[in-house]
Structure 1
Amino acid sequence: MSHNNNSKSRKWKFEFPDAYGIMFIFLILAAAATYIIPAGEFETESSGDGPDTIIPGTYETIESNPAGLLDIFSSIVTGLTSTSQLIFLVLIIGGVFGVIEKTGAMDAMMTKVISITKNKEWLLIALVMLIFSIFGTLGIIVNAVIAFIPLGIILAKSMKMDAIVGVSIIYIGAYTGFAMSVLDPLTTGFAQQIAGVPLFSGAPERTVMFIISLIVTMTYVIWYSRKVKKDQHSGILGNTPFPKDSSESDLGKTEMTKTHALVLLTLITGIAVYVAGVFGVFGETWSLTEMAAVFIMIMVVTVLITRMGVNQSIQEFMKGANSVLYGALIIGMARSIVVILEDGMILDTVVNGMAVLIDPFSSTTGAILMFVGNGLFNILVSSGSGQAAIVMPIMGPLADLMGFPRQIAVQAYSMGDGFTNIITPLSGVLMANLAIAGIPFTKWLKFALPLVGIWYVLGIIYLIVLVAINWGPV
């Protein structure tokens, strides 16, 4: 009887669907669209080593090929298999960093930075942000910043600032690099792969944009931290600068040893070797397969240096891989949506429809609209690689029709994906960071929204310049 009463007293509560739930809803909508949107295709022309580009004005309708029930579910398998190379790369990198973190090398590096910048608070903020932004732009530590938030809080407490500063020097630092990615295989690399642009081409220009964006972001965070330093209660968090009492952590207390230094040197050397391979130093241009191989080599050398047992290293690798499994598989889930659109022969129809809408605008305005539109879409789908799988098959051909290189479309996607990550409540990483620090989301928005506005101004300026110089190669 009591069981029935409890059942009756339970009220249904709406829960916003998980990212996988959102992707599945999009998949169903895409399948339904194959019955509504006319099938069609463009004629394409080969451009040598680059992608086949569509020929403007050649779109024509063809016989429809709507998706059946089995097609919906088989597209998920097709999506996973077609992106398997990237999925395995994500799992391998996650596993390798699980091993590296176990050695204590990352924490020892932070301890060294804290020691070097003792009593130089602004230099400490700048250096910590620089380190995490480099990790972000390389795609090494993005979601994993959650593990370092307690360190940021401890640093902010020691400087008598507030929790927003603590989260910013770690999270904002990493996501500035992520938003202006230079060598992130999961966003820039994956988007270039889909668009048919040479892997990691345009790195010099992206590096310049990354440096400018980082300097501007550092200036904003330091401006806010100076304000709080003068009066700890004058910040956005008011009379509770640290809403959540964080217990003392071992983070930032590990002294640097020769072993730690060798592990970090191995990591840096491995990344440098891969970058050299990407630019053809060793003959053929390297791709994601070689990147995975290099990271496996980094792990093997790390295990030998630290004399970590084989069984323990495998356990730590599995823990690290498991920590990124969610993000890895969503790549294939997102790709399944495009599989349905392509097999249903409506992807070109979508591209043509968007081209008609954007046609009255200039190439520059078209690139900016791509950027802004992708930023809005990112509020709903905050998976960088998942988003690339959905939007780049549309944005690449759309760039052809608008008359600017696909490289610019990749940059518009990258910034659109990166900038709104720090304000979307659907980002698990953001909400986890705020929960650890005890910062209410509305309070965080007061700090982050002006920064996003600044980033958007910079993004628009970048795109204006890139379109003007016809930034390529394709």
Structure 2
Amino acid sequence: MEPEKKVSPTTTTKKSKWTIPHIYVLLFMISGLSAILTYIIPAGSFERVDGPNGRESIDPNSFTEIEASPLSFMDFMLAIPRGMSDASEIIFFTFIIGGMFMVLRRTEIIEIGVDRLARKFKKQSILIIPVLITVFAAVATTIGTPELALVYIPVLIPLCVSLGYDSMTATAIALISTVLGFTAGVMNPGTVGISQQIAGLETYSGFGLRVLVLIIIVGIGSMYVMRYARRVKKRPKDSFTFDEDEQKRLTYKDALKQPAKQMNQRQFIAMATLPIFFAILIFGVTQLGWFMLEMSGLFIFMGIIVGFIAGLSLTKICEAFTEGFREVLMGAIIIGIARSVAIVLEDGQIMDSIVYGLGSVVGHLPSTLSAIGMMVVQLVINFFIPSGSGQALVTMPIMAPLSDLVGVTRQTAILAFQFGDGFANILFPTSGYFMAALVVAGVSWSKWIKFFLPLFLIYMGVGTVFLIYAQVTGWTG
């Protein structure tokens, strides 16, 4: 009889599965690859001119090759700190969102509000998903701020977990709804508004088709999230975030079995002030042109005033802000690292070269594929320029006149931009607000990709169908 073989402690009996690197590592690798490309791609530049609303745009006929300026090691070393500096507004916004919501949680008005909403939808809890996705999409398609997903997530997680779902369901409701509204862009000033001004079209023309796009993609997104949520409720271990939600389940899962939470007079008054602050927010964004900085300032006052009314001392309000800052620290850092990719490409003078090269590709496609090609090009560019308005100012001065040459209407070219820019905002790790939202939710990027990628491919197919229709019919809005 042969002696039993001993297994060394250092011997592995199973091959370890490959996993996606930590998001810091992944973004650093992308930034490093971008630095290498500055040695390979010829440098080039467009002349900058005044664009819509006083913002800088490009002259599409001014591209010239310039002397190469590949990144030095010192430049690369400074890319991340400079990314932090460049993205300071959204980083600050992320911190303030975290702090403000921690104050609201300390007042317990969030928990009470969630408890009441959960009890209202207890018997037909699945219906809360399409209702919330529709409402959030309607807001985003009007004011064009998908960053509001950061506001929704802290409220949605306790709600979804208490109803028997998970953090992924809550994250999906917030991210998918806001990106769908932003993508359809029925009255989105930052993408459709700017693009139509650049293209010389009537602002918000093409309203009807964009509403149809919104209805269809919201319907698809709602069904997709509902299907996942039903599966999680039936078999909790099928949840993508089953392990991460362990503590949340202990805190919220049995909440509906307890007596309903009561609200005292100070909490009631504090909760009554929240709609006032959100009305100010919507007015500021739509009428006064507010963005991250102004919203951050409003949320600071919101946290202080609501906390004070609810009965928190100033010391407790400050401590709550500090705790909230700590919870979103990783998300804030990710935003700066993601911005470093664009810093590298801009310093290496190849960002314009990439845009020019991709635009030239569309010009050589068969006319029947031109609109789809524009969507794909915008998708690729979105990896490097995740800002919707920023991408519009860089690409639409090229795509609008190019569409005339390849037989695509300018309205269709804008629709291709919307699809290529919008859906990928919650796919690419270079999208700062998206990565911050995942951190706030406690959902890893790799798990989100497993959840969202099938839906993303469906949306690319939907976008292709709409673009074919627009091209065949010569859609002008």
Alignment TM-score, normalising by the size of structure 1: 0.70
Question: 1:388 and 2:396 equivalent?
Answer: no
What does the per-residue CA deviation read over 1:240-288, in whole Å, with 9 as the maximum and x for residues that have no partner? xx999854636555525254443343333212212212232xxx53332
1:338 and 1:393 in contact (8 A); partners too: no
2:114 aligns to what SS in structure 1?
A: helix
Question: 1:26 and 2:30 equivalent?
Answer: yes
Q: 1:16 to 1:50 in 2, by over 3 A?
A: same
Instruction: Quote the residue 2:362 is aligned against.
Output: 358
Q: 1:40 to 1:221 in 2, by over 3 A?
A: closer
For residues 458 and 132 of structure 1, the distance between their equivalents in structure 2, rounded to whole angstroms, comes to 21
The counterpart of 2:160, out of the listed 149, 152, 159, is 152
Q: 1:191 to 1:175 in 2, by over 3 A?
A: same
For residues 466 and 123 of structure 2, the distance between their equivalents in structure 1, rounded to whole angstroms, comes to 36
2:182 and 2:422 in contact (8 A); partners too: no
1:308 aligns to what SS in structure 2?
A: coil
For residues 420 and 378 of structure 2, the distance between their equivalents in structure 1, rounded to whole angstroms, comes to 4
How many pairs does the alignment contain? Answer: 425
Q: 1:309 to 1:211 in 2, by over 3 A?
A: farther
1:180 and 1:209 in contact (8 A); partners too: no
Question: 1:255 and 2:241 equivalent?
Answer: no
Listed as ranges, the matches of 1:60-459 within 5 Å are 60-124=64-128, 126-127=130-131, 139-142=147-150, 145=153, 149=157, 151-156=159-164, 169-182=169-182, 212-220=216-224, 246-247=249-250, 249=252, 251=255, 255-257=261-263, 258-280=265-287, 284-361=288-365, 364-370=371-377, 373=380, 388=386, 396-403=393-400, 409=417, 412-418=420-426, 451-459=455-463
What does the per-residue CA deviation read over 1:224-248, in whole Å, with 9 as the maximum and x for residues that have no partner? 778999xx68x9959xxx9998546
Q: 1:74 to 1:435 in 2, by over 3 A?
A: closer
2:194 and 2:392 in contact (8 A); partners too: no
For residues 331 and 205 of structure 2, the distance between their equivalents in structure 1, rounded to whole angstroms, comes to 25
Q: 1:298 to 1:211 in 2, by over 3 A?
A: farther
For residues 97 and 227 of structure 2, the distance between their equivalents in structure 1, rounded to whole angstroms, comes to 35
Q: 1:84 to 1:202 in 2, by over 3 A?
A: farther
In the TM superposition, residue 175 of structure 1 has moved relative to its aligned partner by 2.6
Could you say what the CA RMSD is over the residues aligned between the two structures, in angstroms? 5.0
In the TM superposition, residue 55 of structure 1 has moved relative to its aligned partner by 3.4
Fraction of identical pairs, as percent: 24
Q: 1:105 to 1:224 in 2, by over 3 A?
A: same
Q: 1:61 to 1:126 in 2, by over 3 A?
A: closer
Residue identity matched to 1:95:
G
In the alignment, structure 2 segments of 5+ residues that lack a partner are 1-6, 401-409
For residues 332 and 195 of structure 1, the distance between their equivalents in structure 2, rounded to whole angstroms, comes to 27
Instruction: Quote the residue 1:59 is aligned against.
Output: 63
Residue identity matched to 2:163:
L
1:31 aligns to what SS in structure 2?
A: helix
Q: 1:108 to 1:189 in 2, by over 3 A?
A: farther
For residues 351 and 236 of structure 1, the distance between their equivalents in structure 2, rounded to whole angstroms, comes to 45
For residues 98 and 153 of structure 1, the distance between their equivalents in structure 2, rounded to whole angstroms, comes to 18
Q: 1:272 to 1:94 in 2, by over 3 A?
A: same
In the TM superposition, residue 335 of structure 1 has moved relative to its aligned partner by 1.9
In the TM superposition, residue 370 of structure 1 has moved relative to its aligned partner by 4.0
In the TM superposition, residue 51 of structure 1 has moved relative to its aligned partner by 3.9
Q: 1:86 to 1:441 in 2, by over 3 A?
A: closer
Residue identity matched to 2:221:
T
1:134 and 1:174 in contact (8 A); partners too: no
1:50 and 1:196 in contact (8 A); partners too: no
Residue identity matched to 1:416:
A
Segment of structure 1 superposing worse, 87-96 or 72-81: 72-81
1:176 and 1:213 in contact (8 A); partners too: no
What does the per-residue CA deviation read over 1:118-147, in whole Å, with 9 as the maximum and x for residues that have no partner? 534554554566677789976345498488
In the TM superposition, residue 24 of structure 1 has moved relative to its aligned partner by 1.5
1:133 and 1:178 in contact (8 A); partners too: yes
Q: 1:81 to 1:126 in 2, by over 3 A?
A: closer
Instruction: Quote the residue 2:43 is aligned against.
Output: 39
1:197 and 1:406 in contact (8 A); partners too: no
In the TM superposition, residue 327 of structure 1 has moved relative to its aligned partner by 1.6
In the TM superposition, residue 299 of structure 1 has moved relative to its aligned partner by 0.8
In the alignment, structure 1 segments of 5+ residues that lack a partner are 157-162, 378-385
1:388 aligns to what SS in structure 2?
A: coil
For residues 326 and 190 of structure 2, the distance between their equivalents in structure 1, rounded to whole angstroms, comes to 21
For residues 260 and 463 of structure 1, the distance between their equivalents in structure 2, rounded to whole angstroms, comes to 50
1:96 and 1:320 in contact (8 A); partners too: yes
1:142 and 1:178 in contact (8 A); partners too: no
2:273 and 2:306 in contact (8 A); partners too: yes
In the TM superposition, residue 298 of structure 1 has moved relative to its aligned partner by 0.7
For residues 54 and 329 of structure 1, the distance between their equivalents in structure 2, rounded to whole angstroms, comes to 30
Instruction: Quote the residue 2:3 is aligned against.
Output: none
Q: 1:167 to 1:343 in 2, by over 3 A?
A: closer
Q: 1:434 to 1:114 in 2, by over 3 A?
A: same
Residue identity matched to 1:99:
V
1:168 and 1:221 in contact (8 A); partners too: no
1:347 and 1:394 in contact (8 A); partners too: no
Instruction: Quote the residue 2:406 is aligned against.
Output: none
Q: 1:312 to 1:74 in 2, by over 3 A?
A: same
Alignment TM-score, normalising by the size of structure 2: 0.69
For residues 9 and 449 of structure 1, the distance between their equivalents in structure 2, rounded to whole angstroms, comes to 36
For residues 151 and 287 of structure 1, the distance between their equivalents in structure 2, rounded to whole angstroms, comes to 28
For residues 177 and 171 of structure 2, the distance between their equivalents in structure 1, rounded to whole angstroms, comes to 10
For residues 83 and 193 of structure 1, the distance between their equivalents in structure 2, rounded to whole angstroms, comes to 24
In the TM superposition, residue 88 of structure 1 has moved relative to its aligned partner by 1.0
1:36 aligns to what SS in structure 2?
A: coil
What does the per-residue CA deviation read over 1:86-119, in whole Å, with 9 as the maximum and x for residues that have no partner? 2111111111011112222222222212333353
Instruction: Quote the residue 1:160 is aligned against.
Output: none
For residues 190 and 73 of structure 1, the distance between their equivalents in structure 2, rounded to whole angstroms, comes to 32
1:345 aligns to what SS in structure 2?
A: coil
